[in-house]
Amino acid sequence: MSQLKGSATLIGSFPYKDADEALDLIFQYAPAIPSWPQLPRRDAKEGMVAQYSEGLPCLKMSGKGLYLDESDKEANLEAFYAAVIDKDIQKFEISEDYSQGLWRFYQRLENSDLSKIKYIKCHVTGPFTFAAGINDASGRPILHDAVFMQAVIKGLSMKALWQIELFRKFKKEIILFFDEPYLSCFGSGFTPINRENVVAGLKDLTSTVKSKDVLLGIHCCGNTDWSMFTDVEGIDIINFDAFEFLEKVTLYAQDIGKFLARDGALCWGIVPTQEFSDKISKKMLIDKIKSGIDTFKNKGVKETLLLERILVSPACGLGSLEPAKIEPILKLLAQISQDLR
């Protein structure tokens, strides 16, 4: 965990159709914790839900996108759970057709000097965001369906294990994030889940994936009940939008303090994405981090833990931005990381 201090990493998507454009920037500006890029503009299969759908029961892709086909539900679920019970992770491979970025990243690692890499970062869409993005025949998200929801949790845990096994070849520790933007809706009247559902689901997910050489993180780019994540022992890193929601996160100082004390880390999404402009300066963002640390400290969180257990990232994925904004965002991120380290 001490190797993390001040390091920069990235969140998921890039707005390119060619993986090498993204990878050149990733290895230049986040060399300590490089990650593979999602490329949703290349193909709909690289969308954050569709990309992890291979091998999950009753899910099919068509020209109109991902959909649920329940015509052979029982047989599909039986075959799916047989693979889960047998831990046949190869049945949950993310193919190159669904992720050019992952496989180009793998090839880049095979042909690179890895001495500067501290961790390899992978990612999986979290189960609540995933299930909220797929509707059944009646138009309801499968988030409402206990049978499919459990299958989603098990299937995504297998997707995570497949990635971990793939990248262990490079003999680096691995960071794996579960991306849960949907949980920024938590607490609204339109969210059909409660706190108990979320904590139980994340505990189930992380208990399957957790191992000594893997740090598990969770990314939520909106405001939420942050104590849901601090209460899940399998989560090592909490990634939040520190540009937009820092004050909201500091309301959970007591929970964050306990999380850091048990070897947790915070990944500050300090460089804005949608709000980015040339008016955003390094000093402005460093000052924001200092202000956040002061607020946490004044609420009883140990400053030494805040300073030792800090990573930085963009506030969210970059896939929806204009390509011209990407390098300035990453350059600023690298400068902040250098100052922190």
CATH number of 137's domain: 3.20.20.210
What span, in angstroms and rounded, lies between the C-alpha atoms of 292 and 37? 29
Count of domains in the chain? 1
Domain that holds residue 30: 2-340
Q: Give me the numbers of helices (H) and strands (E) for the chain, helices first please.
A: 12, 8
Residue 6 main-chain phi, psi, to 5 deg: 80, 0
User: What is the chain's pLDDT, residue by residue, as a tens digit (341 residues)?
Assistant: 657 889 999 999 999 999 999 999 999 999 999 999 999 999 999 999 999 999 999 999 988 789 999 999 999 999 999 999 999 999 999 999 999 999 999 999 999 999 999 999 999 999 999 999 999 888 889 998 999 999 999 999 999 999 999 999 999 999 999 999 999 987 655 667 889 999 999 999 999 999 999 999 999 999 999 999 999 999 999 999 999 999 999 999 999 999 999 999 999 999 999 999 999 999 999 999 999 999 999 999 999 999 999 999 999 999 999 999 999 999 999 999 999 98
Look up residue 37 and give its DSSP letter: P
Amino acid at 140: R
What span, in angstroms and rounded, lies between the C-alpha atoms of 196 and 201? 8
Query: 237 - beta bridge partners?
Result: 217, 265
Residue found under tokens 């500091």:
250
What span, in angstroms and rounded, lies between the C-alpha atoms of 177 and 316? 12
Any idea how long the chain is?
341
What pLDDT score does 3 carry?
A: 72
What pLDDT score does 2 carry?
A: 59
Q: Say how many Å lie between the first and final Cα of the chain, rounded.
A: 14
What pLDDT score does 301 carry?
A: 98
What pLDDT score does 69 carry?
A: 93
What pLDDT score does 62 carry?
A: 86
Q: Hey, is 79 helix, strand or coil?
A: helix
What pLDDT score does 189 carry?
A: 59
